[in-house]
């Protein structure tokens, strides 16, 4: 029974991070109809920035300080996104999709080496916070408290985003633009501004995912490339373009992965793809998908 709780926590932990990354991807696609192949690298960027902030620049500070610094990665990623969108992405909205994918692939390659240049080729860790929070007892097992913080942040982010999209004026504008960009524009919405805002939020989410996971795992080059594939699985399962889709997709992937690696550790990743394939054959647009 206690072991089940542990497994549940692990599943939720994985799901929380996945939700943040895939949610950002889905939000951007929902509003702007572009898929950013470099999205995973914004997750990685968030991880590296936070790892630096917590593990190097302000290492040794009070725990409270370090906690406040945790979102540094998210803010950094958001800033990069805010710069990238108007400069490198906007020229491509009117062009065929292939070119959008290509330019984001180019950005991926550039970002990968930017991170290599700034932080070097070695993994960067910032485990102080992880250690500071200690562990708690779940029956006869020990479980790190920090993981629960990650789950909490993931949940809070979901709630906050839901409120933003469905309870604020900004959310209305966002939804209007995503449903019918031309009409929104005709009604006076500054579509360019909405686009850069949506993109920035999406990047913030990805960066946050990286920021909160880095105390328990190191930031390493190539983690972005891995993360992108995982977020693709989430959107294949949950549907591309909706927050609910990202949430449920992440939960399903998290749970099934946990089951998979408990029963048969080798096929960890393959299990995820299997889920994706099954979902696709049954419900082509994903569980909550918008028709393409």
Residues within the interface to other proteins (CB under 8 A): 29, 35, 37, 88, 91-92, 95, 97-99, 101-103, 105-110, 112-114, 116-117, 225, 229, 232-233, 235-236, 240, 266-270, 273, 276-277, 280-281, 284, 292
Distance CA 23, CA 27 (A): 6
Residue 46 CB, nearest distance to other proteins (Å)?
19
Least distance from other proteins to the Cβ atom of residue 5, Å: 28
Q: Which is nearer to other proteins, 73 or 112 (CB)?
A: 112
**Of 152 and 280, which has the nearer Cβ to other proteins?**
280
Compute the least distance from the CB of residue 142 to other proteins, in Å.
Answer: 28
Q: Least separation, in Å, of the C-beta of 26 and other proteins?
A: 12
Cβ proximity to other proteins: between 63 and 262 the closer is 262
CB closer to other proteins, 11 vs 103: 103
Burial state string for 105-124 with b = 16 or more CB within 10 A and e = fewer than 16: eebbeebbeebeeebeeeeb
Residue 63 C-beta: closest distance to other proteins, Å? 37
Distance spanning both ends of the chain, measured CA to CA? 43
Of 113 and 180, CB closest to other proteins? 113
């Amino acid at each position: 029974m206690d072991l089940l709780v542990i497994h549940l926590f692990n599943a939720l932990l994985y799901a929380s991070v996945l939700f943040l990354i895939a949610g950002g991807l889905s939000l951007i696609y929902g509003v702007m109809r572009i898929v950013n192949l470099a999205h995973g690298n914004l997750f990685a960027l968030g991880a590296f920035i936070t790892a630096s902030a917590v593990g190097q620049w302000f290492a040794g500070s009070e725990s409270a300080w370090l906690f406040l610094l945790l979102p540094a990665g998210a803010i950094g990623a958001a800033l990069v996104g805010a710069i990238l969108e108007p400069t490198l992405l906007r020229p491509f909205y009117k062009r065929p999709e292939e070119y959008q994918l290509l330019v984001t692939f180019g950005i991926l390659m550039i970002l990968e080496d930017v991170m290599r240049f700034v932080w070097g080729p070695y993994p960067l860790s910032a485990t102080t916070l992880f250690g500071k929070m200690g562990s708690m007892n779940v029956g006869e097992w020990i479980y790190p408290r920090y993981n629960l913080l990650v789950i909490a942040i993931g949940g809070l982010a979901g709630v906050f985003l839901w409120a933003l999209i469905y309870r604020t004026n900004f959310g209305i504008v966002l939804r209007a633009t995503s449903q019918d960009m031309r009409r929104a524009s005709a009604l006076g919405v500054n579509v360019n501004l909405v686009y850069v805002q949506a993109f920035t939020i999406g990047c913030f989410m990805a960066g946050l995912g990286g920021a909160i996971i880095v105390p328990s795992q190191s930031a390493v080059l190539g983690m972005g490339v891995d993360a992108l594939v995982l977020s693709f699985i989430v959107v294949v399962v949950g549907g591309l373009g909706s927050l609910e889709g990202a949430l449920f997709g992440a939960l399903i992937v998290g749970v099934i992965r946990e089951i998979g690696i408990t029963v048969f550790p080798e096929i960890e990743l393959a299990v995820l793809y299997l889920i994706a394939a099954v979902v696709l054959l049954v419900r082509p647009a994903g569980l909550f998908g918008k028709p393409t």
